[in-house]
Chain A
Amino acid sequence: MSKASVIYDKFERHSHAQGLKGHATHYCPGCGHGLAHKFLAEAIDELGIQDRTVAISPVGCSVFLYYYFDVGNSQAAHGRAPVVALGHKFANPEAVVISYQGDGDLASIGLAETIATAQLGAPITVIFVNNAIYGMTGGQMAPTTLMGQTSTTSPAGRNEYNGQPMKMAELIAGLDGPIYVERVALFDAKQRIKAKKAIRKAIKNQVEGRGYSFIEVLAECPTHLKMSPEETESWVKDFMEPVYPLGVKKDLATEPWFKRNPPSFKGEKILSLCGATSEHPERFCQGFPTHLALNDVSLKLAGSGGDGAQTAAMLIARAAINEGFDATCIPSYGPESRGGTSYADVHVAEEEVLNPGSHDPQILLAFNAPSLAKFGPSVRKGGYIIYDSSVVNELPELDPSIKLIPVPFTGIATDLGKAVVKNIVALGALQAATNLFPKETMLSAIRIALKDKCALIPLNEEAFAWGIKAVEALNT
């Protein structure tokens, strides 16, 4: 068989092609990689995909795959070849990406990447060369070393303390992602023909966009098995094959599915995703609420998850920014996904918020008793505490200069038929108690926030109005 045309005419990357290195591989006599390379090269030639091919060189003996293949080449960190392959495949779905890996790379250090990539199922081709030993580092135990087999790190033979050999083809075939998994060998002419066909098919599956294919090649490493090349062939046949049975492990007739459009760079589309608009929000403020602070108002909204403190905090920040002020909002949650503590720090500044945390807020909106107990004492002298009197029965000890505004957020919201609007009741109460912004500012922010759920606007407006009324009732 002539040299495949995808093999470089001269191996410039092999020690600058000095001496014989321009035309000889770096593999030892009898090594299986040479044949695996050859079948891969022939498949690329036959499928006519040289220009589209990206070969990922692993770490291990085949680290220098890129010396030989005249295709796009990328060399990956140890074990990471399949995910590097995915990175290439998603960058250019037309590329034919081949992850070529040895046993240490694929079945030990890169096991997580191997399994996850196989299960993802995107059409790449993985060629796994299993020779039951670490070659490059000098004959250490591989995840595929046989029980009883000696290596420099299992000098007495692999035993139960080293665990059992990894049967990767079976493991991969057991996943849902791959469409084609076969184990082949190189030890005689018949096996070599099968190996060649399998590798070709695994690449063809990718070319056709059908899915992930995995070929395990039982290969010879005479150097580290300390046998002649001929004896190693027999060893693979007599000892490896019984543990790693040859044959097709999985072959699904999956229809081509992997087709991706080129990415979009349409500005309008991006803006619409972000919710950006060129409409100026209406402004209602005459100036900064200096009756509250010279140039920076700090608020804290605190409750438990689901109280709507975060939403209310965001509405205040948006309202402020709509008015041309600067504002920040920092959420803080307890470790619980639902139910735990949930509070937010909001600052509204005339020009620039400098200290976005609210460690000593001027205004506290407390949705429950623990929040009031925790943050009430930190409220600045002369500040405001607006709390849900439906659920808070006891007040902590507070500075007498603090204005206390009890409003039944929950009671009002429940009467309106939707307990979830209690945060809007609270915003109404905030409005009436502090006059932070004109009423229309908050209402406008609420309407903008609900522009995709217009049906909810009247209910929210009503909740806001009831919050105002409740505070006004306190004052009369």
Chain B
Amino acid sequence: MALKERPKPFLLPEYCKGCSRCIDACAKDCIHLGDQINPLTGLIPVELDLTNCNACGLCMDACPEPYGLRPAHEGQILDFELEDPAKLYGVKPSDAPEPVDVPGETLPLPRTEPLVIKGTYASAIGAILAGCRHVYGYPITPSTEGAELMAKFLPKLDGTFIQAVSEVAAVNMMYGTAGAGLPTMTFTSSPGFSLMLEGVSYMIGAELPGVFVDIMRGGPGLGNIAPEQSDIKLACHGLGHGNTQAIVLAPATPQEMLDLTILAFELSFKYRNPVVMLGDGYLGQMTGKVQLPETLTKPGIPRWAVYGDADHRKNLISSIFLTETDLEAHNVHLNAKYDAMKVEARSESYLCDDAEVLLIACNTPARTAKGAVQELRHHGIKAGLFRPITLWPFPVEDLKLALQGVERVIVVEASAGQLEDEVRLALSRAGVRDYPEMESVRRMGGILPQQDEIMAQVLGQKEVRA
């Protein structure tokens, strides 16, 4: 049997950076540092004299460049410079198949009596029904019960709950699972959400879905653990660095905690973008009646995912666009997506048709405001409530309708005016300049505005006017 002839090395000088690792490796002294700068690279490649070469291969083992020292093809390519590069390298960069969607399924869920559960549980169950089996989180009051329920349920569904070392780690675990194309979420509260924002920016940049349930609490800093609508600004206008936006949902009841969590997953995958759900501490802790839906979702694997299989090998999850024009084009694409999200604007208008006094509120304060509207109507005052369900995009077209015929506008919120700023910005962008001077009922520090305070604002000023 003939011994297989080992190949000697060859080198395209433009792919040699002259690091000289091969020089050390060669026992036959065949390789020397060159003295000519290669005009293509500006570097000085090594020079080969293969007279004494015994084809030991050590030089090729030592070469760090993939297209540096390589075996001469069957000893033929001596006159390499005349070879067509396409013959040397092939024209196809990869034989990976074109990625495809593995579709998800919608499965029926038997009808049941309503559950009596707290808001965070409702959200967790909503996530499970939306197909989420990967939850990462870090305990923080008042959101922790959601994570606790996931820690209890998910192992029984062969899902994954991991308590991360920090919120920073949690959001990046989400980045990984979302990158693999699967639904993922976290429960957090204001300070924890602040910590996650770097990751949120990366997810938006890399176009990854994921649901963030932020049960807002009093701030700034540690603040306290009582309910405040403290993160409206953050969620609508501060999702980390760069040109970032996400749909922001504001539930008002435990039922909506479930319904909007399911919606959040849908929208998150529809737009390949995170979705933020803002609850207040009351809503997270509040137990109420929750009716389950009639279907549940078994997720598929989207074509863009890096699942770790042959069908998705071609993909890359990254927010890097090194070339300025590429990054600008990416931002143009993101902006188009943000524009497209505007159709998702949702709101509830309660007794707005003939309203002269319009209350604007979201989350738990909207419930209180609804109570105030009822009481005001008993007093013969034509009051109405406009409740944005999406805070971004703001349902400004619905608001324009609700504003018709309105004499007074009162924004009711548990923050220093973060909701009012959203209202003003939305109206301004929509070109609406003509609306009554905005009044407000605001509480901060973990105190929600109460019905009697709203009544006092409406009636008190009315008396003054009269």
Contact = CB atoms under 8 A, between A and B. Distances in A.
B17 A28 contact: yes
A92 B178 CA distance: 11
Interface in A429-451: none
A87 interface: yes
A19 B320 CA distance: 21
A84 B20 contact: no
Interface in B130-173: 131, 133-134, 136, 153, 156-160, 162, 164-166, 168-169, 172-173
A280 B179 CA distance: 43
B113 A277 contact: yes
Given A87-B178, A112-B168, A92 B308 contact: yes
Interface in A71-115: 71-77, 80, 83-92, 94-97, 112-113, 115
A321 B290 CA distance: 10
A80 B175 contact: yes
B286 A87 contact: no
B66 A330 contact: no
Contact of B450 (A188, A332, A359): A359
Interface residues of A, number: 115
Contact of B371 (A54, A90, A267, A354): A354
Interface in A12-34: 12-13, 15, 17, 19-20, 22-25, 27-34
Contacts of A230: 20, 23-24
B288 A76 contact: no
Interface stretch (A62-70, A210-218, A250-258): A62-70
A30 B17 CA distance: 8
A247 interface: no
Contacts of A8: 93-94
A229 B20 contact: yes
A41 B319 CA distance: 24
Contact of A87 (B61, B125, B136, B310): B136
A34 B158 contact: no
B289 A83 contact: no
Report, as a range, how many residues of chain B touch the other chain: 35 or more
Dominant SS at the A interface?
A: mixed
B110 A66 contact: no
A23 B86 CA distance: 12
Interface in B80-103: 89-94, 96
A77 B40 CA distance: 34
A30 B20 contact: yes
Interface in B309-331: 309-310, 312-313, 315-320, 322-323
B282 A356 contact: yes
Contacts of A156: none
A9 B320 contact: no
B184 A314 contact: no
Interface string B350-382: 000000000000001001101100100000000
B332 interface: no
Interface stretch (A165-173, A268-276, A418-426, A465-473): A268-276
B94 A70 contact: yes
B303 interface: no
Contacts of A95: 180, 307-309
Contacts of A356: 282, 286, 288, 364, 367
A261 B20 CA distance: 50
Contacts of A96: 308
B15 interface: yes
A342 interface: no
B285 A331 contact: yes
Given A84-B176, A87-B176, A271 B109 contact: yes
B156 A277 contact: no
Interface stretch (A45-53, A128-136, A366-374, A397-405): A45-53
B55 interface: no
Given A70-B313, A230-B20, A264 B157 contact: yes
B19 A74 contact: no
Given A86-B173, A88-B308, A278 B113 contact: yes
Contact of A276 (B115, B133, B322): B115
B114 interface: yes
A1 B57 contact: yes
A90 B128 CA distance: 16
Nearest to A11: B93
B298 A268 contact: no
A268 B176 CA distance: 29
Contacts of B114: 321
B349 to A, nearest CB: 16
Nearest to B311: A51
A318 B116 contact: yes
A330 B283 CA distance: 8
A112 B15 contact: no
A317 B286 CA distance: 11
A94 B307 CA distance: 9
Contacts of A279: 113
A128 B165 CA distance: 20
Interface stretch (B198-206, B242-250, B422-430): B198-206
Contacts of B58: 189
B261 interface: no
Contacts of B298: 265
A331 B287 CA distance: 9
Given A29-B18, A34-B64, A13 B177 contact: no
B174 A87 contact: yes
A402 B337 CA distance: 60
B296 interface: yes
The 8 closest A-B pairs by CB, nearest first: A87-B176, A34-B64, A95-B308, A354-B371, A91-B180, A116-B165, A29-B17, A51-B310
Given A267-B107, A277-B113, 12 more contacts: A3-B70, A8-B94, A73-B306, A74-B317, A75-B320, A83-B176, A112-B169, A116-B165, A262-B158, A270-B157, A328-B286, A329-B287
5 contacts: A72-B308, A72-B312, A72-B313, A95-B180, A355-B450
Interface of A: 1-4, 7-13, 15, 17, 19-20, 22-25, 27-35, 37-38, 41, 50-54, 56-57, 63, 66, 68, 70-77, 80, 83-92, 94-97, 112-113, 115-116, 120, 188-189, 192, 222, 228-230, 233, 260-265, 267-271, 273-281, 314, 317-318, 321, 326-332, 352-357, 359
Interface of B: 14-15, 17-21, 23-25, 40-41, 43, 57-58, 60-67, 70-71, 89-94, 96, 105, 107-117, 125, 128-129, 131, 133-134, 136, 153, 156-160, 162, 164-166, 168-169, 172-182, 184, 198-199, 202, 206, 254, 282, 285-289, 292, 296-298, 306-310, 312-313, 315-320, 322-323, 364, 367-368, 370-371, 374, 448, 450-451
